Structure 1
Amino acid sequence: MAKAVFHKHQRVFVRPVGTWALIEQVKPQWVKDVEEPVRIYYDCGLGRDFTAADLAAEQVEDHSPDGWRVLRARNKWQTETECAHHPFPGTYPVVVTDEQNWGGWRVPGAEYDRDPHKVEFQARLIEQAPALLTLAEYWADLPASNPDLPQDLLGFCRHAGDIVRSIRATADEPMVLDRRESPAA
């Protein structure tokens, strides 16, 4: 028997049409002497009814306060069957770094098709970059408040400080590389 996956007034992505819509009506298909509906159709106000397989729910996730997030963009060059081996067939990740859904990171379709798992990893890593920077800043500032740290932990904190300085460097400042690679270390 069928169960409704979506509800009335829910925002969904309609795959066959390639647009977002609100579900206007949930339409169960009943059969005589059966207690539950056999199928569920959804009216999105687009001229025909859709099944749950045609729709995708909006993914609402907790985002960091800086607003960096991974969105899914529709793959215009390949059908879902052509890219069935992708982690999310028919879409590719877009990392948005602005509150207005502008700016950010995208990857060409051919590059995504070559190694989709690597690109998905990169998208998640970029999305978490502000949190990782906050963590590195915490470790870099730790020796100032705790001067009696063990030597191996102090080395870790210095390395975190080098990473923070290289990220925060401006064009007229030289970048500081990993202390383990520099000849002075």
Structure 2
Amino acid sequence: MAKAVFHKAQRVFVKPVGTWALIEQVIPHWVKDVDEPLRITYDCGLGRRFEAFELVSEQVMHKHHRPEDEDDDFLFERWRIDRKIIKWRVDTTTGMDPNPGTFPVVVTDDGDWGGWRVTGSEYDRDSRRIEHQARMIVHTPELMRIARKLADAASESPDELPAEFAQLAQRCALILRHVYQTDEVSLETAAE
């Protein structure tokens, strides 16, 4: 069950918008016959409701001068694969399906809302490829953490890295810059 992380009138940094706002309303989402809310969203007066992972408290921001310098927990989310029952097939025991009767859905937030999924026809066309893509997507945040650590290590002591690791660290920095759009350098031109 969900617990409120922030309170009404609290000043927070709204990461998707990149601005400070006050929480105008804490909105619990209840389910019948359950004592606690299933999830909690926050109205900051910015046109939509935000999840807790999209907000950073003022105390955390004071500890870290810029949003880009936050701990990995704030920069990178934890994603997971959820299995959904295949409803579009009559016979769910095809020989090519690695997980008979189910298909992967990548859940990218705590409230089971956001994520990635494919259509039934796309899954039926190449289920092994879709399963592979789901595993790749789920592990992307961890790979981003590794890339950031490598890029940070290279920038702190560039002369101590062997040449091949320096090139990898430079590539990691370019990928991170592209993901966070801190520079308009395309990965193709930067790799040349």
The two structures have a TM-score, normalised by structure 1, of: 0.57
Q: Which runs of 5+ in 1 are unaligned?
A: 1-63
- Partner residue of 2:171? 159
Which one of 99, 112, 122 corresponds to residue 133 of structure 2? 122
Higher Cα radius of gyration: 1
Using a 3 Å threshold, how does the CA distance of structure 1 residues 131 and 98 change in structure 2: closer, same or farther? Answer: same
* Structure 1 Cα separation of the partners of residues 188 and 146 of structure 2: 17
Shift of 1:139: 1.0
* Structure 2 Cα separation of the partners of residues 119 and 109 of structure 1: 11
Which one of 165, 186, 191 corresponds to residue 176 of structure 1? 186
More helix by share: 2
Sequence identity of aligned pairs in percent? 38
**Residues 75-86 of structure 1: pairs in structure 2 closer than 5 A:** 75-81=86-92, 83-86=94-97
Shift of 1:91: 0.8
Q: Deviations over 1:47-98 (max 9, x none)?
A: xxxxxxxxxxxxxxxxx98331000011111034453420111110000001
- Partner residue of 1:143? 154
Q: Deviations over 1:86-127 (max 9, x none)?
A: 011111000000101101000011011111110000000100
The reply to whether residue 107 of structure 1 matches residue 111 of structure 2 is: no
* Structure 2 Cα separation of the partners of residues 71 and 108 of structure 1: 15
Shift of 1:174: 2.1
Q: Return the letter of the residue paired with 2:109.
A: D
Tell whether the 8 Å contact from 1:163 to 1:176 is kept in structure 2 after alignment.
no
* Structure 2 Cα separation of the partners of residues 144 and 67 of structure 1: 26
* Structure 1 Cα separation of the partners of residues 147 and 133 of structure 2: 19
Shift of 1:176: 2.9
* Structure 1 Cα separation of the partners of residues 176 and 162 of structure 2: 21
Q: Return the letter of the residue paired with 1:174.
A: E
Stretches of 4+ aligned residues off by more than 6 angstroms: none
The reply to whether residue 68 of structure 1 matches residue 79 of structure 2 is: yes
Using a 3 Å threshold, how does the CA distance of structure 1 residues 67 and 181 change in structure 2: closer, same or farther? Answer: closer
The two structures have a TM-score, normalised by structure 2, of: 0.55
Shift of 1:181: 4.1
* Structure 1 Cα separation of the partners of residues 164 and 139 of structure 2: 26
* Structure 2 Cα separation of the partners of residues 156 and 92 of structure 1: 35
Which one of 120, 134, 140 corresponds to residue 145 of structure 2? 134
RMSD between aligned residues: 2.2
Tell whether the 8 Å contact from 2:106 to 2:116 is kept in structure 1 after alignment.
yes
